[in-house]
Structure 1
Amino acid sequence: MIRYCSSITLALVALQSPHAYAAMQDQGPPAPPAATPPAAATAQRWTQLQLPLVRNGQLSGDIIAEVTPDGQVRYERASLLERLTPYLSPSARETFGASFAQAAFLTSAELEAAGVFLRYNPALLEVAIERIDPNLAAVQTLGPVINESRVPVTRQPEDFSAYLNVVGDFRLEDFKTFEDPGVLVFGAARFRGVVVEFDGGYDRSITGGEGSGFYRRSARAVYDEVDKLRRWSAGDLQLSGIPVISGALLGGVAVEKGRRVFSGGGPVTQLGSQQILLDRDATVEVMVDGQQVQTLQLAAGPYDLSQLTSQYGGRNAQLFVTDVTGRRQLASFDPFFDPVDLGSGEDEYSAGIGFVARAFEASPKYGGLPAFSGFYRRGMTNRLLLGGALQLSEDVQVAGAEMVVSPNKIPGRIEFSGAISTGDDFGYSLRGAYSLQVGTGMQGRQFSISADYRNKGFQTLTDAIAGDRFETLNVTANYAQSIGEQTTLVAGANWFQRPGFNSSHSVYADVIHRTEKFRVTAGVEYGKGLNENNFGVRLGLTVPLGRRTRAEANYNSRREQARAFVTRSYEDRVGSFGYDVGIRKSKNDATVDAIANYVGNRFYARGSVTSGGPGFGDIDERQQARLQLGTSIAFAGGDVAIGRPINDSFVIAKPHESADPGQVVLGRSIQDKRFDALSGALGPALGGRLQSYTRQNVIYDLMNGPVGYDIGAGIDTVEPPYRSGYKITVGSDANVTAYGVLKIEGAPASLVAGSISSTDDEAFTSQPFFTNSVGRFAIMGLRPGKTYQVRLTEPAASYTIEVPAKSEPLYQLGEILITPPTAK
């Protein structure tokens, strides 16, 4: 039994796709054979179709054609020439078009005489280009050709949209004392091309118990020139730079260009040569060679990576960050890592002027005279990239340059950058790196080495926030070699030097073996520093317990650390649940902790419980519990919706009033009840995970609606601008589909064409009408209480359809008998 019908499904039998409709599978008994008509009469009974044109299996678009029941075919000149254009040389296009200037339709014989051979396939209802005369053909490219076939955008964002996320933060110390709850508030409003963003909230612990407790983390206005990859912004700014200098935090105005500007931001921002900035409170997992080795609960603010670099530098180390809103980001552990490669002639830059932030506090505080921060990078060739950066303020002046090159005669990639600064002291910073990858898969090998040095006098605009300056030297080397299909050897070394503080150096070697049932890591390590043993072994075991659940245990004897935990990842869909439960033991500390995440339809929840002490015997010495609840309210197209926190862009979807009591479902796995969002008693569905400047699909359906209700396409393709909002109304009052069997003089009307119009439905546009080979037809988009007239072209005849005012979505007409005027 049919319940819900999207226009994608009905298009197979509906009038909007006549070529597909004509291919509809016949239903019911076949009509009795008729006497063979004269050839002249058959040749004149043409049925117009819209057919796909293909070449070598690749679709070139649709053309208009006319066919007869006995298989004759002729092609409309205008649509055919448009689709043949890519396959004809420039001179051939003019000659070919001029040859048929007076013809509206072209036969196969006429086209073959001109040098174009087409074949009509009535079974597949398509036209294939079999051959084009070499004198007409365009030059073809040999070798692999990448053709970008993008689905066209079917829905545009609303001119005005806005959303506001609200996250409550509740903390319990020692399971006894409730701290004052905090509230994080952040959102954006967009009017056409201009976006205004705000991030702030209320939390007396952040403001130090001073003042009202309200704070502003950042506020800015943004305008994007997408075609030029350029963004203009004003307000609290986080500007990027080249790796050796990084960017700056300014209160002012800026312009930025580059792919990175439009790739979407995460919870982690590179702040300095050894620092990162967390925009909001987050859980940070340190991942080494794919295994979790450390978990940190961190408050928003800047953090120095030097000590982590000394422990894990030179290895495949990453930071997996989950903030209080559910945003997740897997960031490179190397603060110098820059994945952007610019092609020849491609450039990117940033330039901003404003006041320098003096400290990372609840609300930014700016001071001094205006400062400037900017950089420029350009791909000189496909093998050479050059860049430079400049920072100027009353206290410090910084200049730097970088080069990335892949020489013709030297395999691999070489990077070098350097910078100098003047201010309290003269300072300089140097960075060099070399990387090489040979082969892939079982025979793949990778080698990399990098070194960076920063003297104590070097400073940038971010140093007022990032903390004290130190002389640092960090050298890392890494080698990876595949041994067979499932085993990898990894070896490396790290030298980290900070005079008088936290210096270390080590060498290591690991063997990693993977199977479908487990992953095991075994290795040795030798080094000095950080109050650790000189020699130790490393062991790790990972066992998958399902598609999203795994158990891990690892041990490092040099650092006297052991960890064991079970993790279940969660998905961004309604009802998804994830957790991380584990025990951790180090030389002077032991902890037991649990983190749980739940994704609801209207909210996101994250809870954590930690208990620790100097040993398992005193595991309850310090305890903490925390619960974070986040929701959002959004506005677009005159409708308001409530849902989970929104990261970038969003869509509001609601059922049409005629779809009552239906509920709109957003999601990619509707049949499996894996929803992204669901409408209900609290209003429309709110999907808040659209990524700006990325073409993607919004899939929707109707649940518990009227039988046979037409919801439309069921899918929209969008390419959201930054912080934009969409509105979708699922269904309409034009939801009736009339179907039946047309008979002429008592016999099924086989492959009859015509048109449909209405005298009292002003919104209804004239449509073509077709029957299949046994006379069946379906007409979509009719409104209850309206009248529609069907006019046939051959034989000339007409009939009227009156849709009842209280019609069901599927309106059965039964058999319609007509007699052409000439037959009376």
Structure 2
Amino acid sequence: MIRYCSRITLALVALQSPYAYAAMQDQGPPPPPAAAAQRWTQLQLPLVRNGQLSGDIFAEVTSDGRIRFERASLLERLAPYLTPSGAETLSASFTGSAFLTPEELEAAGIILRYNPSLLEVAVERIDANLAAVQTLGPVITESRVPVTQQPEDFSAYLNVVGDFRLEDFETFEDPGVLVFGAARFKGVVVEFDGGYDKAITGGQGGFYRRSARAVYDEIDKLRRWSAGDLQLSGIPVMSGALLGGVAVEKGRRVFSGIGPVAQLGSQQILLDRDATVEVIIDGQQVQTLQLAAGPYDLSQLTSQYGGRNAQLFVTDVTGRRQLASFDPFFDPVDLGSGEEEYSAGIGFVAKAFEASPKYGGLPAFSGYYRRGMSNRLLLGGALQLSEDIQVAGAEVVVSPRNIPGRIEFSGAISTGDDFGYSLRGAYSLQVGRGTQGRQLSVSADYRSDRFQTLTDAIAGDRFETLNVTANYSQSLSERTTLVTGANWFHRPGFNSTHSVYADVIHRTQRFRITAGVEYGKGLNENRFGVRLGITVPLGGRTRAEANYNSRRETARAFVTRSYEDRVGSFGYDLGVRRSRNDASIDAIANYVGNRFYARGSVTTGGSGFGDIDERQQARLQLGSSIAIAGGDVAIGRPINDSFVIAKPHETAEPGQVVLGRSIQDKRFDALSGTLGPALGSRLQSYTRQNVTYDLINGPAGYDIGSGIDTVEPPYRSGYNITVGSDANVTAYGVLSIDGTPASLVAGSISSTDDEDFASQPFFTNSVGRFAIMGLRPGKTYQVRLTEPAGSYVIEVPADSQPLYQLGDIAITSAAAK
């Protein structure tokens, strides 16, 4: 029996042969397979050409794959692609035909392809004699599917994460509470990140603030205004700044939330929360670090892995995740000709990374400007000014016509107490793709010990450093890649490190193996060594990895299962690690609940496996969120950016709203219930996306509407969706005209007393069956037929159930009268 359905789903059931109604009303068994293959089922399908949506058309399909298109809706959607004379010719060719087959259309000069897996119809070709002139130029990639739901004027949310720690499996530390959230009123957003933790404040009170700011976006101009605790960007050679003040920023990369990692300089990062940091080289995890909040120097990692495809995958205790390169941990967006980006901020400079930002001194300025002068030339500059430090920098990125590849150069000087400078140059070349692909990159970074920026007060001591890297990769076959390279890192007062290496990476469906050799000089490292690594998928989202490096005398083996952001999903990471003077065993587990997120970790280690219990730590984080939008309050998992609250209409009780795409196999994002509406916590701002919903345990045959809304959320916004309405009646029956079934008849439906009812098309199937959705109890509706002309009235009882059976309806055509 049908329990709940969207309008499209119900239309599919109601417009099938009489056997569908017999089954729905428990009136008998289904027909034999041979008969079922000939049933026509009506669909509403999107018509797409060159990736662009034209609109929806009506069509009928059979279970054996045949399709025919409803003439009126198809001609309307094809009109923009046809010349006026072409539209007239096509219309005249099919006068009197209610439906058109693909063969008939191809004979007329139009080829359509139906994709049953995507449920869409693509326009493959239109004859030149029919086609309208098309404009050449850049392809517009943004979907033209209209936005159907707008955010609430006011919305807010608050994430709360409990942090529980156990040292040496004996001593419980004082628990911490992380609090971060935002409130939005129309276009203004106020956001806060802080909490209570005596371990962070050193026992002084316990309350702390990581950041608080107000934000206003002008998205049409790609511009953001902000005030409060600011993390400003800059050019790579001199980074940005941490200020307490006001700023304006413009550019595509501006419109994202603050991640767990901030860049302090070309070789320094700042973690604002305790985090797990995975070092990934050429797609393989080689190191996992459990780091406390604070600043960190990347120079040693750069000396080991610089020039290769090196990335950091950071997961903090709140569940935020960020993947980024650390060469030099800054990947500026390439700008097209005439495109620009900039940042300008004024305020007080952060002097130390403590529980809360500490500002001091006189106001300072930090800003940069980058512009694409052409498709081959990008210029940029940056300036930082304070009472003690003055820094100026410039950047050039060029792809010369006579020299293949891309050349980058940037430099900066600083004055104040001392004069210093920093230089960076890079060259990259990519030739071919696939099995013919080759890549070459060379880069050099130099920073004098007297060079300083506004962030150096937090980043710590300054050193003279020189880092040179070179990398070459080439595809040897579809599955095999060769990677070679060299790097040299120098810091006065420390032993210089240098190495050359060569790796071969081979991939199959069953495993990925890396084998290589390395020679060089480094701290506590052998001169020569081999590297071996293997990754084996274990099915689904689970994989096993192991790697060994004889030069560094390190070995790792672990099993990982990734998790999805859906209810009931879980993941884990079980690992064993061994180095020259250290050994550890650790486990991390993640679970995604309907109203909470949980992350737990256990680590035990020592100088060797015989002393593996020398140091032990266990940690558990439990996070939840409370949100408000449209006057409704919901509880769910922590929210990263924007969110949606969804609840059932009062007429849908005792139904529960389900958010997500895979509802039948119970793979959903959120579920309403005893604790209130469902809370979808993963909407991304300024990205057009769909919110899919359904109803379970609701009234039989209840009409929930389309089951999907298209949204484009502003920053930190909230939506409120009510699933269902009082227009939840679906009337179905069999129409006969002049004593015979009304086969494939079209018309329209309107209402005389339902002001909210919009006129909609009416169709019957090949045996006269029809379904009309979205009707209200106690209202009257009129059906008008076009071919042949006729009409009849439907009066919905005030106490009607969601499925209202009309039975047989017989009318007399105007011609017969």
Q: TM-score, normalised by structure 1?
A: 0.87
Moved more, 139-148 or 152-161: 139-148
Match of 1:8 in 2: 8
CA shift digits 1:741-763 (9 cap, x unpaired) = 12344333445555544455443
Number of positions where the alignment pairs a residue of Structure 1 with one of Structure 2: 769
Shift of 1:108: 4.0
Assess, with a 3 A threshold, how the Cα gap between structure 1 residues 519 and 143 changes in structure 2: closer, same or farther.
same
- Superposed, 1:537-548 pairs within 5 Å as 537-548=530-541
Match of 1:657 in 2: 650
Paired residue for 1:208, among 181, 196, 202?
202
1: CA distance, partners of 2:304 / 2:805: 74
Match of 2:166 in 1: 172
Shift of 1:143: 11
Paired residue for 1:350, among 343, 346, 353?
343
CA shift digits 1:558-588 (9 cap, x unpaired) = 2111111111111111111111111111111
Contact 1:196-1:219 at 8 Å conserved across structures: yes
1:530 and 2:508 are equivalent in the alignment: no
Moved more, 355-364 or 54-63: 54-63
Paired residue for 1:372, among 362, 365, 381?
365
Contact 1:354-1:370 at 8 Å conserved across structures: yes
Paired residue for 2:475, among 472, 482, 491?
482
1:627 and 2:620 are equivalent in the alignment: yes
Aligned AA for 1:156?
Q
2: CA distance, partners of 1:156 / 1:383: 40
Paired residue for 2:601, among 584, 601, 608?
608
Assess, with a 3 A threshold, how the Cα gap between structure 1 residues 435 and 206 changes in structure 2: closer, same or farther.
same
Contact 1:108-1:117 at 8 Å conserved across structures: no
Match of 2:560 in 1: 567
Contact 1:51-1:126 at 8 Å conserved across structures: no
CA shift digits 1:283-306 (9 cap, x unpaired) = 001111222111111122221101
Identity over aligned pairs, percent = 84
Paired residue for 1:257, among 250, 256, 271?
250
2: CA distance, partners of 1:243 / 1:330: 18
Shift of 1:365: 1.1
2: CA distance, partners of 1:82 / 1:493: 58
Paired residue for 1:287, among 280, 290, 294?
280
CA shift digits 1:150-193 (9 cap, x unpaired) = 32211111111111000000001111111110000000011111
1: CA distance, partners of 2:595 / 2:262: 29
Paired residue for 2:187, among 171, 185, 193?
193
Match of 1:222 in 2: 215
1:696 and 2:689 are equivalent in the alignment: yes
Secondary structure of the corresponding residue to residue 610 of structure 2: helix
Contact 2:398-2:407 at 8 Å conserved across structures: yes
1:123 and 2:101 are equivalent in the alignment: yes
Paired residue for 1:272, among 265, 277, 292?
265
1: CA distance, partners of 2:47 / 2:709: 25
Contact 1:54-1:126 at 8 Å conserved across structures: no
Moved more, 195-204 or 796-805: 796-805
Contact 1:307-1:502 at 8 Å conserved across structures: no
Secondary structure of the corresponding residue to residue 271 of structure 1: strand
Match of 2:34 in 1: none
Shift of 1:458: 0.4
CA shift digits 1:509-559 (9 cap, x unpaired) = 112222222222222212222122222221212222112111111111221
Match of 1:326 in 2: 319
Aligned AA for 1:694?
T
Secondary structure of the corresponding residue to residue 162 of structure 2: strand
Assess, with a 3 A threshold, how the Cα gap between structure 1 residues 773 and 81 changes in structure 2: closer, same or farther.
closer
Shift of 1:4: 2.4
Moved more, 2-11 or 140-149: 140-149
Shift of 1:333: 2.2
Gaps of 5+ in 1: 15-23, 30-49, 65-70, 98-105
Contact 2:157-2:626 at 8 Å conserved across structures: yes
2: CA distance, partners of 1:446 / 1:582: 33
Moved more, 554-563 or 125-134: 125-134
Contact 1:108-1:118 at 8 Å conserved across structures: no
2: CA distance, partners of 1:627 / 1:304: 27
Aligned AA for 1:122?
L
Moved more, 469-478 or 767-776: 767-776
Contact 1:156-1:726 at 8 Å conserved across structures: yes
Contact 2:727-2:776 at 8 Å conserved across structures: yes
- Superposed, 1:503-518 pairs within 5 Å as 503-518=496-511
Aligned AA for 1:152?
P
1:150 and 2:144 are equivalent in the alignment: yes
Paired residue for 2:670, among 674, 677, 686?
677
- Superposed, 1:370-519 pairs within 5 Å as 370-501=363-494, 503-519=496-512
Match of 2:572 in 1: 579
CA shift digits 1:692-715 (9 cap, x unpaired) = 111111111111222211111111
Secondary structure of the corresponding residue to residue 246 of structure 1: coil
Aligned AA for 1:375?
Y
Match of 1:248 in 2: 241
Paired residue for 1:710, among 693, 700, 703?
703
Assess, with a 3 A threshold, how the Cα gap between structure 1 residues 437 and 617 changes in structure 2: closer, same or farther.
same
Contact 1:74-1:107 at 8 Å conserved across structures: no
1: CA distance, partners of 2:788 / 2:208: 77
Aligned AA for 1:6?
S
Question: Which structure would you say has the larger Rg?
Answer: 1
Assess, with a 3 A threshold, how the Cα gap between structure 1 residues 502 and 154 changes in structure 2: closer, same or farther.
farther
Assess, with a 3 A threshold, how the Cα gap between structure 1 residues 410 and 757 changes in structure 2: closer, same or farther.
closer
Shift of 1:443: 2.0
Paired residue for 1:555, among 544, 548, 556?
548
Secondary structure of the corresponding residue to residue 186 of structure 1: strand
Shift of 1:118: 14
2: CA distance, partners of 1:520 / 1:811: 63
Secondary structure of the corresponding residue to residue 411 of structure 1: coil
1:163 and 2:141 are equivalent in the alignment: no
Moved more, 306-315 or 215-224: 306-315
Match of 1:309 in 2: 302
Shift of 1:423: 1.3
Paired residue for 1:736, among 720, 723, 729?
729
Contact 2:658-2:693 at 8 Å conserved across structures: yes
Contact 1:74-1:108 at 8 Å conserved across structures: no
Aligned AA for 2:672?
S
Secondary structure of the corresponding residue to residue 458 of structure 2: helix
1: CA distance, partners of 2:607 / 2:618: 19
Aligned AA for 1:165?
N
CA shift digits 1:647-673 (9 cap, x unpaired) = 001111111122222211111222221
Match of 2:803 in 1: 810
1: CA distance, partners of 2:95 / 2:800: 50
Assess, with a 3 A threshold, how the Cα gap between structure 1 residues 351 and 710 changes in structure 2: closer, same or farther.
same
Assess, with a 3 A threshold, how the Cα gap between structure 1 residues 434 and 496 changes in structure 2: closer, same or farther.
same
Contact 2:782-2:794 at 8 Å conserved across structures: yes
2: CA distance, partners of 1:469 / 1:118: 83
1: CA distance, partners of 2:72 / 2:731: 31
Contact 1:426-1:457 at 8 Å conserved across structures: yes
Contact 2:654-2:698 at 8 Å conserved across structures: yes
Secondary structure of the corresponding residue to residue 381 of structure 1: coil
2: CA distance, partners of 1:538 / 1:704: 57
Match of 2:36 in 1: none
Assess, with a 3 A threshold, how the Cα gap between structure 1 residues 117 and 248 changes in structure 2: closer, same or farther.
farther
Contact 1:264-1:692 at 8 Å conserved across structures: no
